[in-house]
Amino acid sequence: MKKIVYLFTLSVLIVCLGACTGGSKKDTTSKTPSSDTSKVSGDMSEKEYFDTLISKIDKVTTDNYKSDEYLFYDYKTILRDPKKYFSLKVRINNLKIIQISDKDKYTKMLANTPNGDLYMLFIETKRLETKLLETDNITINGRYLLSYEYTTTSGSENSVPLIYIDGYLLLDK
């Protein structure tokens, strides 16, 4: 049975990856949130910003968490119409953490898929059961909130999906 589930998951992942086109990997220095789906003041701290976003979605607990509700979605489809997909439950497999910041209340991670799609992820630091490190590979179940804009080390602007993590699995230790 495990082989069937594994093969099914692998085939779905291959189909999803085939439908997506690759992007380029970019390093970051500073990040500033976008207001594509949420009106947030530029003077707001990142902690307050994340608190505001989380207050707009239903809280997921161990009692109401259902892994099968999280599905695969095309990267570009979500970025093209961020307001339409606010709070959408998504599953992203085999993310490699590029950069991690675990200050204050939230741990924030820039991660990419094997085909180069970048995501900004965040989770409450106290909810992390395992310390995550750069280069770790994870699978996440989370909710898309909006597009997140940041400045790369080369000075260019980049916009990536911002995902609130409901659950994660560390793939390699």
CB 63 within 8 A of CB 79: no
C-alpha pair distances (Å), 31 with each of 26, 134, 135: 12, 17, 20
Please state, in angstroms and rounded to a whole number, the distance separating the CA atoms of residues 168 and 109. Answer: 13
> Please, are residues 152 and 120 in contact by the beta-carbon 8 Å criterion?
no
* pTM for the model: 0.74
Question: For position 24, what pLDDT does the model report?
Answer: 38
Residue indicated by tokens 């979500």: 78
> Which CATH fold topology does 2-170 show?
OB fold (Dihydrolipoamide Acetyltransferase, E2P) (2.40.50)
Mean pLDDT for the stretch of residues 20-25 = 39
Q: What average pLDDT does the segment 127-134 reach?
A: 92
156: pLDDT strictly greater than 70: yes
- Tell me the CA distances in angstroms from 159 to 33, 44, 78, 92, one per residue in order: 9, 19, 12, 18
How do residues 96-125 score in pLDDT, each as one tens digit? 999 999 878 999 999 999 999 999 999 999
pLDDT digits (tens, 9 = 90+) for 80-97: 888 899 999 999 999 999
The answer to whether the CB of 59 falls within 8 A of the CB of 101 is: no
